[in-house]
Each structure stands twice: as structure tokens, then as C-alpha cells.
Chains A and B, each alone.
Chain A
Amino acid sequence: MANTACFIIVGRNDIPIYEAEVGSAAKREDAAQLHQFILHAALDVVQDLAWTTSAMFLKSVDRFNDLVVSVVQVLNVCFFLNLSTHTRLMLLHDSRNEDGIKSFFQEVHELYIKILLNPLYLPGSRITSSHFDTKVRALARKYL
């Protein structure tokens, strides 16, 4: 099944720190910017929702036509650096497989925490690890 999915990790001040087109559908020319636009717009909704729920997994928060945005809210505190990062893992997808998405988020979250634990990674900076990238793509193939 060809599906569309775009995964983005948004750090503080709404700066994207990781982007990946993980869908298997053939790429449209303007897909990248459309997906960015949708995810970017969804930040507003996430911001609203963040204060109303204590759940980390926000399910689908926004939709545009048949594309759905799911978000995991990461409010983790890096105690060793005494920095709190307000990070959001956002997935734009067109699948109904909520369980898959949830497990995808769980595993990516773990990966993200591993990245955070890296003393050479400055929280809030772009994630450039190729290992992370391959892992995320593998997870996307597995769950989405």
C-alpha cells in the first residue's frame, strides 16, 4: 500500500531538528513543502492541545484533506544538563493504523532520548546522525 508519511521532530521555538519523508508513495514534486506547511500549521493546534491533556500521545490533532497529523509531545527534562526541551514528534500520515503509529512514536522517542543522552549533542540542534536516520526509516517501514 502506497502511503504518505512525513515525520518531523520540532524543537524549541518551533525549529525543526529532524525531517524525514518516510512514506512509500511516489513523491510528488511539491510534497515536501506541502507536508511542511501542514505540519507547521498543525503546531498551533498542538500548542492548544498541550495544555488540555496530560497524555503524551495526542493522536490525530489536525487534518488537511485526507492527511492526518499525529503528534507526540515530549516534555522531557534533561536533568543532567538542567535544560528542558519542549520537543514534539510530528507525523503526517494518511493511514488509519493508530496502533502502528503509536508504536512508531514510542520507538522513535526512545531513539530520540538516546540522541539526547549523547553528550556531544546539543539539545535543540539539528539531528544529523545517520544512524538515527536509518533507524527511523526502518521503523517507518515496520509500523506505518
Chain B
Amino acid sequence: MVEPVNSPLGKMLLEEVSPVVMVLCTPLVEETFLKNGLSFVETLKPFCNFSNIDVPVRTSSDQLYRLKKFTLRLFYASDIRQPNVEVAKQRLEHVITQAGEKDFQDLKSDPPQISDILSNPESEIAPTWFQYYNKELIRTLSFSEHEAFDHPVACLLVVSSKDEEPINKFVDLFNTNRLPSLLNDGAMDPKILKHYLLVHDNQGATTERTSKVLSEMRGTFGNNECNLLCTNSSKEGNVEHQANPWASFKSSASAAGKLGCVLTGDDIVEIKDLMQEFTSRHIIPYMEQKVRELNQQISATRRGLKNQFKNLWWRKGKDDVPDSTKGPMYTFSSTESQIRILGDYAFMLHDYELALSSYRLISTDYKLDKAWKHYAGVQEMMGLAYFISDQSKKEAEYCMENAFSTYMKLGKSGFQNATRCGLWWAEMLKARDQHKEAASVYFRICGEEPLHAAVMLEQASYCFVLTKPAMLHKYGFHLVLSGDHYKNCDQLNHAIRTYRSAISVYKSTTWSHIKDHVYFHIGQWYAIVGMHDVAVRNMLKVLDCGYQSKATQEIFLRDFFDIVKKTGTKHEVVGLQLPIIDISSLQVIYEDHRTYASQASALVEESIWQSLEDDIIPSLNSGKSNWLELQSKLLPKKYRESNVCVAGESVKVDLEFRNPLLISTSVTSVFLICELTANPDDLKLVDKEPSNSSLGPESSTEHNLGTTSGFSSFTLSEVDFTLGGGEKKLVRLTVTPHEEGILKIAGVRWELSGSIVGVHYFQSVPVKAKTAKGRRKNKLTPTDALKFLVIKNLPRLEGSIDHLPGKLYAGDLRHLVLELKNKSESPIKNLKMKISHPRFVSPGNHEEELTTEFPDCLKKGHEQNIVQRETNGTNSVFAFPKDVSLQGDRSLRWPLWLRAAIPGTISLYFTIYYEMENVSSVMKYRTLRMHYNLQVLPSLETSFEITPSPSRLQEFLVRMDIVNRANLDCFQIQQLSTVGCRWGISLLQPVDTILPSKSLLAGQALSFFFMIKDCRKSGTEEEKTMSLPPSLTDVKLVTQDDDEKLFDIVNSPLASFHESERSCQGASDKSSPNTVDFILISRLAKSSNPSAVPYLPEILSHHSCHNSIRSSNPLSWSLDCPQTIYHNFATSLCEIKLNLIIRNTSNGLSSVTIDTVDCLPDTAAPTPSSVNQSGWRYVPSVTEEMKVTSDVMGSRLDKPPSSMESSPPFIWSGLSSTKVQIQPLSTAEIPLQISVFSPGIYNLSSFTLKWEVSEHENASSGTCEGYPYYLTVLQSE
């Protein structure tokens, strides 16, 4: 800690609390000195500060001490009065304005870093003009009546030798009428030391006259009191002073060169000597003597116990007299004033002990008198005395606090004094490193006047920086407060300066309101002072203010655009926050060998395409030998990993823009910033010229610079859009390179409201390059993902499917056309297509248009498509004919069949592979990818149940349950066909009886019955494939007119769809031969709501495959014998011959063992009884199939059921067990015989068939019970 004397306050006190010398001079004297550009006082001023005057002083005590530092203050008599408040105010304002102008130039620079501020030495933190301001502020209070240190100690009377009658002039000068009023009205002691000075101007006066006057003076006023000052010795008037002593006092630097120009070095030395002598010989001894005098006088009257009591009593008595607040209460001659003068003089002579004791003495008096201003003044001085003598800190502070609050109590009149007191107090605290307290003192002296408050607040803020640890939050806050005050009194430069410093505090804050406030206001102010670019820079920070109210946002934006407009130029701002770019949304879509038919197909996941394309692109091994290796040979390793795009084809970038504000903003001319450089390897090979040729629509950015002879090497798309409040928009931007090389997408650029340009660079952002190949993906760095190797122009196939409906009913069969187009001149060949859902789409066979209209072409009689296409279900690659080659504008129209197989939402993926002819490029082939979505609504649903007919061997009964699942529409069923040549089908009852309305309503369910007949013949293969007449496989159900042709199900679309249906539905065991496939063809009766399905379906086909016959047996059999036999039992027992016909329906050789059982049917049922043996009565429990069979039998045979089994027994009289081998699909007849003993009805079911089928490897076996077969034997007449 510095010594109090050397602290700023100590220095200040030395300057401010120092003897005042009143100067009285004649106009001629002034004139003389004005030749130097200085007044008389100004000339002397630099020589009034003595750093080492070394004068011995002895005041009250007997101790002698030496004064080291000493200062005199010189004032003209006219200045010795209380300064006008208004004038003082103006002067202060001037000081501030000047200071503001001075550091105006610094404002442009960026705000300082907070660490810089903290590392600055203490003295540099606060601007220097504060000291000057504070001094001026204190000076406004000089010559107040309640203090004595401003009372003139001496009077310097100056007369020029050129004056007429100089002696009289001297007398005139000290004429009481012209003395300051303070001296006259008794506030100050008019009896002061007088000193007479004669000024001799070497330029104009003669020395003779001067010496004469001088001797006359000495005669009149005494020898000691008179001095001669010779001046202006230089004739030329161009003396340059090395260190101009006046420069620091005269603020106007313009006249600095002229200052003292006619004063030679000798003159200056003379002035110096004069002042030194004047001080040491006259003033100090005079003061010394005065102090001693006063001390004695006061000791006599006031010191000591007796005097104290007397004084107290006297004061008590005075209480009755009301205080006259007007006018000076105490004249210079009053005891109180005397004591005060004593104290002040002692203070000035650095005898702080004496000063303190006298202040203490007087302060109680003033307090008792309720002379608060005087009291406060004394307290103030006490505090200062304590401080400077380095005594009790507490006392000092207490005194200052006391003085301050007392001044404050006085109201407005005391405020100025309070300010000065506060300043001193703060300085005192600062000197003791109590910066925080100092700050609070500054804060307290703010007052109401904004300019004053601003300066005080700013000083307070600097105190916060100086505290340890630095209170930066407070620092910022006070700076902002001060800035606001500065702004209120139009001190914009200062306002900006404070805010600029505050920004360094708030730069990284997340307190949004604070940040916005600071940046917005400083931006506004910069704009007012005309620094628009800086203003814009600051305003940019508040643009992302989504949390503010709408009104605030509007203000922000409006002001921002106003300022931007004023700048006149289009600013380019990197990282503009409006609108916000969502980098995670960045998606790059480009086409290398993979091309896309539509936007939707580009967004499909790469893995789907890859799995689809596995078959058609050259396989990995062979691929490596052709294109991959080729590529690696052609390209340096560096570029093998970069993306490839083709010249002339655009690279698309999807980017999401978000408006953080509630106000809608328009964003215009959004485009990518790209850079196309020639391939460095090409450069090496081809030409050495580095041609950085790139161009944007507005080549204002550095990246889009470089117009090479007006030829643009790439084109960019421009997008304009408006973002509503809080809206997000996905924007597609494209760049189309026209030359080979390396294309780099560097960033995006946009214009905000047509006035400011935002730029965003994509440097260090994670980009998902959408179409990057899976195995390369991990290697790609983000920047690589935006780097493309542009290769030579290649043909590109465009494809579309016409009239693909988005919504259709299940089973809907459509004829579509795939249109392929190659716009480039070079042909492509070797087209292949793969479809993700062969069940839904099947390509046609010929390029030609169909001769007849759909759906008639599907009907029988159009035989052109009957060629059976061999498609294997696993590989659905469709190769276009070899001669198909596309070139120029020719388009290829290829028929496609679409059938909505199952309801649901289906994504159809088409990929078309093609190879380029005669193009020597790294890319040998490309693929075109198409993607469509279908919504398939449920329509008719069928289920079939097939049961063998019990009466006929190769006939089966079919029940078709059909439900209309559609929401609204009705369907007509037209035709039911069986697939293949095996099954003939016929209706059991006419449809009209079941469905008189001819159409199936929505939600309706119905059952139809059919008979199917197995037309297979046993025998050779040829026989098996021998086809049935086709007409037998189809049944017409509901027809519009009778001569309508049936649909041909062996025709290409239906047959091929059936194939795929078979493979899809073929979950059940394929080995089972007894399956029937049905195709139901229906049509939409009429659409109740035409808009539901945009294109009306013409024909719907429903395929039901692998409907197995509900019988587990590979055998079917029947007993062949008459039903009624007449026999004369009188003669003999009746022997009846039966024929059991067994048909092997399986494809394997089967061996059958027939066992006849000769016992009651009750016991002849072996299998169930083994289950139900524990005392239960036998209930014929039958399996489901058996039940159905028996039901059917019951109804068909119209015979009494098995309940009447009280028939007499019969015996099997033939073979009891027979084993036969039956060839596949052939029949065998086994003769059986029974013997009947009496007439009756006999159930001939008591036999079992044990069969074993060995079909290929798998063998199966089982047992069948005989069906009930009733034989009636009657007695013949």
C-alpha cells in the first residue's frame, strides 16, 4: 500500500488544500504576458508546485520540521467567488465531450478481452480524464464560505513598469471596492499578506524607469515586500522550450508551440526564483506566525477545562436565538472561524496533529450550533487529516461517512459538497484497496443529474474491476447503467465506450435479455454515430431472439434493417443467425452410377436398392475385374473415396431453414457456394495451367469468383421463400457442374430481406451423404462428403410409369406402360430390370402396343400371348431383348402388368440396369431406380373347402366362401377357373339362385358350391400332361351377356401372376398332390363413390392356391353291389358278392390290406373304444372329416341312419385279409363276399383298410374304417 501522502488522494489534497494567493494586476501586466499566449496567473502556475521546498516550520509545538512538498494556488481576485453553478456545469460537460471526442477513434475496434482488462495495471483501467473531471468537479465548490482553506493567504499586487503612476496603481489595486465580495462581507479575512511585484517588459520599457519605480516602491511599501520581475527578454519571440512547462496546464494543444515564446530560459529561471522566494520567505513564515498566534489565542479562550465549560454554557444560552440560515453565520473574526482557520492553516503546513485537534474542537461547537454544513465540512477535513497522517482508518471512515450523510441531509444545497466529500472518500478507500466500498460510495454520489451519474457509475464500475477478486458482473452492470445515463445526455461516444467494455463481460453470457439489451443498444448507437458496419456487426448478435416478445423482435428487426440500409452495401455475414440452418438436416443427393427417377426414390434407403440390385449389377468378383478395378486404376487413391458425379447432372442439397422469430422473414436468392477445380491429375497430364474456374450467379464471394471468359463451369439454382414465424422449411438447392474436375460444396449463401447476405460454410459439420456406398461410408469425412469428382458426361436413362394408380383394390389387374427415355446421343444397351415385388408387377413380353383394348385382350381368342414364359420364381430379373438400344430422344414403351396382390401399403421398387455403349469412362453401367407407393384396399376374399365326394371316386365338392371386404363398392364375380389341366369344374346350382342381385355388396358374405373332377389318367407322363379341353376348367358365374368370352387364365399376365402367387402362398406342403388352385375373376359392379378409387378397376383376379382336399387318405374306395337283394332263405343262406373298388390318388405306389371283421359293429370299432373303455357307453366319436362325410351321406343316401343297427349279423365269407398293390393313380378291384342268414338290413362297414404309401422317399401309412353301407336283403316270394 502506498503512503497516504503519495496516494492519488494525497497528491490531490496537496494540490487542493493549499494556500491561495490572490492576484491583482493591471491590464498592462496582462498584456505583457499575453504576448506569450498566457495570462499572468497561467505563466506563474507551473512554478507554484514545489517538490522540495525545504522550509523549516515550527507551528504550535516547539518541534521544528521541514516542509518538503508545497503548492500555491494563484487566483485572480475576480475568480475568488463561488463559481456559478450553470457555468460550472457547462464546463464539466465540455470536459466530458472533449474526452469523448478524444477516444472516438478507438470505438471501431473490437471490445477488449476481459482477461486483458484484468491484466492491465491499475492505473490504466480507468480513463485518465476522470482525474481531470474530478478535479474540475471539486473546483466548482471552491471558495465556499464554510471552509477556510480557500481563503486567500496572501495577495500579490502586480503592476507593469509601463503603467502610469505605478505607486498609485498599487494602492488602487487593493481598493476594497474591487476586492471580491467574500472578503468584503466578512467571510474571509481581508487583512492578509500583501506582496508587490513590478513587471518589467524587456521588449517595451526602459530599465531606467523600472529601477526608478522600483526604488519608489521600496520606499513606499517596504523593502521586503517589493519585487521586480523582468520578462519577455527574447526579441524574436520564437523561443522553443524543450519541456514546455505550460503544456500540461493549457489544454488546447494548438497553441502549445507558441506558449512562452518570448520567454527566454533566464526569464523562466527568474520566475521560478521569484515564486520560490515568495513562498519560502513570505507565505510560509506568514502562515507559521498566524498559526502560532491563533493557537495561542484559542488556547487561552477555548482550551482547558474551564474554557470548555464556559463555552458550553455560552452555547446553551445561544440556543434560544433562532439560526439565521441566510448569510454567513460566522464571520472571519468569530472564534469558530478562527479555529477553523487555524485548522486549515495547520493542515496546509502539514501539521496534521494541530489541524485535527482544532477540527475536533470546532466540530462539537458547530454540532451544538446545528450549523450542519460547517459541521460536515469540518468532519470532512478531519477524515482527510486522519487519512493523510495515516492514523486510525476507522476514524477516518467514520468522519467521512458522517460528513457525507450530513451533507446529504442538507438536501440539494449540500449535494455538491457531498459529491466532493464522496470523491475524496472514494479516493481514500481506493488508496486503502477497499475498492468495493469505493464503488458503493461512487454509486451513492450519483445524484439525479444523468451526466454526473454516468461518470460516477463508470468510476464505480472500474472500482469493481480493481477489487480482488474482480467483480466482473458488477462491473458490467455499472457500465451498462452508466452507458444508459451517457445516452440520456447525448454523450454517445461515452455510451458506446462503456457498452463496449460491458460487452467483454457479457460476451459469453447465456443471460439472454442482458445480451440482447447490450448488443442492440450498442448497435443502435454505433449507427447514430455513423459507424454502420460496426453497428451491423453488433446487431447481428440479437437476431436470434426467439424468446423475446413479438414486439421486441419487430423492433430489433426493424432497426437492424434500417441500419443495414444505411450502410448502403450488402453485408456478407458468415454465420448469420436468421434464419437458422439446421445442419443435421443437410442431405446431399447426387447420382453416380445410381440414378433416380424421382425425388421419392432418392430418399429410399440405400440398402433396399442394394439388395435389389445384387443380381443385376455385375457381381462383386467380376465387378472388381471390370469397373471397380478400372476405377482404381484410373483414379488416384485419394479420389477413389470421394463421391462421383457426372457432368451435366445436378447435385442436390437439402437443407432446412428455421425461422427463430415470430415474425415472418423473406429469404431470397439462396444458393450454394461451390468451387470447381480441375482435377490435379488431369492438370499434370493435360495442361499445366491451374484453372480455378468457378462461378456463381453473383460472383461476389471469393468462392464463386473467377469468371473465365464468361463461361460458367457450373450452374446453381436459386431459391426464394418466405418463412413464417417459427416456421421450418426444407429447401432443395442444386448445383450442376458442366466440366470435369473436383466439385466442392463449400457452403450456402442467402439474402435476408434483400439487404443482408448470410453465408454459412459447411466445414466442420457432420453430413450424412445420403447415397454414399455402405462400405465407403465410414471412411468419408464430412468434407469429403461434399467433395465430388466430376466425370465426363454420360447418358442417363429417364423412366416413368404412366398412370400408376396410387390406390387400388386387392386383385386389381392393370395394364401399365413403362416409358424409358435416353436424352443423350450415345446409346445404351443391355437393359435389365428388377422389380421388388414380382407378385405385383410383371413385365410384358413385347414392346408393341397391345392390339386390343384391355381387358378384352385377356379373354380367350386372343392367342398372341399364349406363349408360356418360363420364369423361375427366385430370380425375377427381366432382361429386355438384346436389340433394345436407346438413343437420342427415342423412348421405349414397355408394357407392364400390375396386380395388387395383397391389401396394404406397398412400396414398389424398380431398378433398371443399363450399360453405356462406346463410352470410355470409369463408369460402365448405371442403374435407374424408381420407387412408387401403392395403397391396396381390401376387396374380395375367398376361401375354398374341398371335400371328396363320397359317392364318386374322382369328384370333389368345393365350397367357396366369399366375403366382400371393401368399404363401399360392390363386386361382380365373373369367372372361377381352376389352374392346370387336372381339374374340371362345374357349378352345382346356378348362381342366380344364390345371388339374384348379381353383385356382392360391401361386407356381404356368400358361399358357392362347385363340383370339381380330377381328370387325371393313370399312365404315362404324356397322358398326364394331356390337357383337358380348356373350357372345362372355367365356370362362368355372373355375366352381362351370354356370349361374353371367358378370361384366359393361361394367358401371360394371369398365368405369370398365378405363378408368383403360388410361390408366395406356397407355405403349405407342396408335396401334397391333392391341391387345387383357383382363380376368381371379378369386376367392380359400380363404384358408389367414384372418387374413392381414381381409376376404376376393370378386372380383378383373386388367386387361391394350394387348396388341399380335406382328406388325409391317399385312397378312395367304394363298394360296388346292388342295394337290395331278394333271396329265398328257405333254400340256403344268401351269399352276396361285393366289389370293393380302391383308387390310389397318391403319386406313390401303395399297398393296401383289407381286413374284414366278423362281429358286432359295437365291438368292431377298435380305435375309439380303446379311448373310451372305462364303463362309458360307446358314443361314436368321429373325426371332423368323418362327420362331414356322414352328413353328406346321410342326405344323399336317404336311408335310415346307423341307429337301426339291430340287424342280424352277417359274416364275411370271402378272404378275411387281402393285400393288394395299387399303382399310383390307378384303381384296383377286390372281390369280397358275405353270407347273410336272414333277411334284414346290413351295414357293411365292418372292414378296415390299412394302407402304406411309398412316394419317393417318404412313406406314410394309415388305417381307414369302412363307410357305412347298407344292404337290404329281402325274402324272395
Contact = CB atoms under 8 A, between A and B. Distances in A.
Interface of A: 14-16, 30, 32-33, 36-38, 40-45, 48
Contacts of B511: 16, 36, 40
Contacts of B473: 14, 40-44
Interface string B495-513: 0000000000000011101
A16 B513 CA distance: 11
A32 B464 contact: no
A33 B510 contact: no
Contacts of A30: 517
Contacts of A42: 473
Interface stretch (B474-482, B753-761, B913-921, B1088-1096): B474-482
B477 A40 contact: yes
B516 A38 contact: no
B514 interface: yes
A43 B509 CA distance: 13
Contacts of B472: 44
Given A41-B473, A44-B471, A36 B514 contact: yes
A42 B476 CA distance: 11
Contacts of A40: 473, 476-477, 509, 511, 514
Given A14-B509, A15-B510, A32-B513, A37 B480 contact: yes
A40 B476 CA distance: 9
B730 to A, nearest CB: 26
Interface of A is mostly: helix
Interface in B453-484: 464, 471-474, 476-478, 480
A92 B1085 CA distance: 77
Given A14-B509, A15-B510, A16-B511, A41 B474 contact: yes
B517 to A, nearest CB: 4
B464 to A, nearest CB: 7
B19 to A, nearest CB: 43
B464 A37 contact: no
B443 to A, nearest CB: 9
Contact of B514 (A15, A33, A44): A33
Interface in B513-534: 513-514, 516-517
B477 A38 contact: yes
A116 to B, nearest CB: 20
A38 B478 CA distance: 10
Contact of A33 (B471, B474, B478, B513): B513
Contacts of A32: 513
Contact of A36 (B464, B471, B478, B513): B513
Contacts of B510: 15-16
Given A33-B514, A36-B511, A37-B517, 18 more contacts: A16-B510, A30-B517, A32-B513, A33-B517, A36-B513, A37-B477, A37-B480, A37-B514, A40-B509, A40-B514, A41-B474, A41-B478, A42-B473, A44-B471, A44-B472, A44-B473, A45-B471, A45-B474
Given A16-B510, A36-B511, A44 B474 contact: yes
A135 to B, nearest CB: 21
A46 B477 CA distance: 15
Interface residues of B, number: 16
Contacts of A33: 513-514, 516-517
Nearest to A13: B510
A41 B513 contact: no
Nearest to A35: B513
Contacts of A14: 473, 509
A22 to B, nearest CB: 16
6 contacts: A36-B514, A37-B480, A37-B514, A38-B477, A41-B478, A44-B464
B556 to A, nearest CB: 13
A42 B514 CA distance: 14
A26 to B, nearest CB: 15
A8 to B, nearest CB: 9
Contacts of A43: 473
Residue from A14, A37, A45, A48 whose CB has the most chain B CB atoms within 10 Å: A37
A16 B514 CA distance: 12
B441 to A, nearest CB: 15
B727 to A, nearest CB: 21
Nearest to B520: A33
Given A16-B510, A16-B511, A36-B511, A41 B476 contact: yes
A48 B437 CA distance: 14
A41 B509 contact: no
B447 to A, nearest CB: 14
A30 B476 CA distance: 17
Nearest to A15: B510
Lowest 8 CB-CB distances: which A-B pairs, in order?
Answer: A41-B477, A44-B471, A33-B513, A33-B517, A36-B513, A44-B473, A41-B473, A15-B510
Contacts of B516: 33
Contacts of A16: 510-511
A125 to B, nearest CB: 11
B21 to A, nearest CB: 46
A42 B471 CA distance: 10
B222 to A, nearest CB: 63
Contacts of B478: 41
A32 B548 CA distance: 10
The CB with the most chain B CB atoms within 10 A, among A14, A33, A38, is that of: A33
Contacts of A45: 471, 474
Nearest to B464: A44
B559 to A, nearest CB: 15
Contacts of A41: 473-474, 476-478
A45 B439 CA distance: 13
Contacts of B513: 32-33, 36
Interface in B609-658: none
B434 to A, nearest CB: 14
A78 to B, nearest CB: 21
A54 to B, nearest CB: 21
Interface string B1212-1235: 000000000000000000000000
A31 B386 CA distance: 44
Interface string B233-265: 000000000000000000000000000000000
A32 B514 CA distance: 9
Contacts of A37: 477, 480, 514, 517
A41 B510 CA distance: 14
Q: Of A14, A30, A40, A43, which is in contact with the most chain B CB atoms at under 10 Å from its CB?
A: A40
A27 to B, nearest CB: 10
A37 B473 CA distance: 9
A81 B223 CA distance: 94
Nearest to B443: A64
A44 B469 CA distance: 9
Contacts of B517: 30, 33, 37
A40 B515 CA distance: 11
A48 B469 CA distance: 9
A40 B509 CA distance: 10
Contacts of B471: 44-45, 48
Contacts of A15: 510
A45 B517 CA distance: 23
Contacts of B480: 37
A43 B474 CA distance: 8
A16 B464 CA distance: 22
A16 B512 CA distance: 9
Contacts of B477: 37-38, 40-41
A32 B509 CA distance: 16
Contacts of B474: 41, 44-45
Nearest to B548: A32
B294 to A, nearest CB: 47
A44 B464 CA distance: 10
A15 B512 CA distance: 10
A32 B480 CA distance: 15
Interface in B919-935: none
Nearest to A46: B473
Most B-side CB within 10 Å, residue of A38, A42, A43, A44: A44
Nearest to A37: B477
A28 to B, nearest CB: 13
